[in-house]
Chain A
Amino acid sequence: DAKTTQPTSMDCAEGRAANLPCNHSTISGNEYVYWYRQIHSQGPQYIIHGLKNNETNEMASLIITEDRKSSTLILPHATLRDTAVYYCIVRAYSNYQLIWGAGTKLIIKP
């Protein structure tokens, strides 16, 4: 079973920030949080990952709560091309296994 909980779907207006939440209340100390997205009929695209600290790259920001039990992926200025299913996954440093849930379907509206 997936170790994360995400809302089934979300909407966001184009140009606004999209904030996608993820619950991982049973996360262990050596587990990283990864975010991927999948646009219809394509392979998943890696977005960002983090352990404790907040992370930012050219695609998004990842905010992890101090207790590490939840995180939020932020797309700062959403465009129509950001419409996709977003997956939040936790994985231990020593483990290859990615356990995928059903993700959040994000729809960006004009």
Chain B
Amino acid sequence: DGGITQSPKYLFRKEGQNVTLSCEQNLNHDAMYWYRQDPGQGLRLIYYSQIVNDFQKGDIAEGYSVSREKKESFPLTVTSAQKNPTAFYLCASSIGRQGAQPQHFGDGTRLSIL
């Protein structure tokens, strides 16, 4: 079945540590996205990528980094510069950046600080 796989489901970070969240899709989608969700809130865009080797900052990119070396993969690194990293992180993909086709989401990674 086609879909978006995020791993791990739960992740714990120590102070000052970088952690990387995985996102893989087998939908052959060009565009991929990372969102952050805090309790009781809607999603906020961190980064997005239209094609391989290209990505753009979203509304809250500070303290995060991404790479897009393969079409299927869009990992997100939460760096030590992100002072409030505890949140639910969601990866999404769509056929293209533009157009009416919707974004589809993975099941998320919940990151907590030890």
Contacts and interface: CB of A to CB of B under 8 A. Distances in A.
B45 A97 contact: yes
B46 interface: no
Given A100-B42, A100-B44, A101-B42, A95 B108 contact: no
Contact of B108 (A2, A43, A93, A101): A43
B31 to A, nearest CB: 7
A46 B48 contact: no
Q: Size band of the B side of the interface?
A: 20 to 34
B79 interface: no
A43 B110 CA distance: 11
Interface stretch (B13-21, B63-71, B97-105): B97-105
Contact of A98 (B6, B40, B103): B103
Name, among B98, B99, B102, the residue most crowded by chain A CB atoms within 10 Å (CB to CB): B102
Contact of B98 (A49, A94, A98, A99): A94
B42 A32 contact: no
A71 to B, nearest CB: 15
Q: Size band of the A side of the interface?
A: 20 to 34
Contacts, number: 54
B106 A93 contact: no
Nearest to B33: A96
A103 B42 contact: yes
A96 B31 contact: yes
A34 B105 CA distance: 14
A13 to B, nearest CB: 26
B62 interface: no
A75 interface: no
Given A87-B42, A100-B44, A102-B40, 9 more contacts: A43-B6, A43-B92, A44-B43, A44-B90, A46-B102, A46-B103, A46-B105, A96-B94, A101-B42
Interface of A: 2, 32, 34, 41-46, 49, 51, 87, 93-103
The 4 closest A-B pairs by CB, nearest first: A100-B42, A43-B105, A96-B97, A100-B43
